[in-house]
Amino acid sequence: MANKKGYVLNPDEERVKKVVGLMTMNSNTYESYYCPCKQSHPLDVKKDVTCPCPSIDEEVKKDGYCFCRLLYSRK
């Protein structure tokens, strides 16, 4: 998905590990990669969004990266 849209991973490996680790925990628990940065606590499978978020294109266009700072614009 990232390559297809022209995004790259954050060069900060620790940030990537943290976000991906939290998404993996969500996947193991809820069987879907819920966005750990936008999820409610406790997670609400009916309302919370999965990665990539529906607003990712808008976020990257506006800020140069997604809300979680996992994916960045290639530019």
pLDDT digits 0-9 by tens, 48-68:
999 999 999 999 999 999 999
d(CA 72, CA 66): 7
Q: Which pLDDT does position 36 carry in this prediction?
A: 96
The pLDDT value given to residue 75: 74
pLDDT at 4: 83
Residue 7 · residue 71 · CB < 8 Å:
yes
Distance CA 66, CA 52 (A): 9
The pTM of the full predicted model, rounded to 2 decimals, is 0.87
Q: Counting beta carbons within 10 angstroms of the beta carbon of residue 42, is it exposed (0 to 12), middle (13 to 18) or buried (19 or more)? A: exposed
Low-confidence residues in the chain, pLDDT < 70 = 1
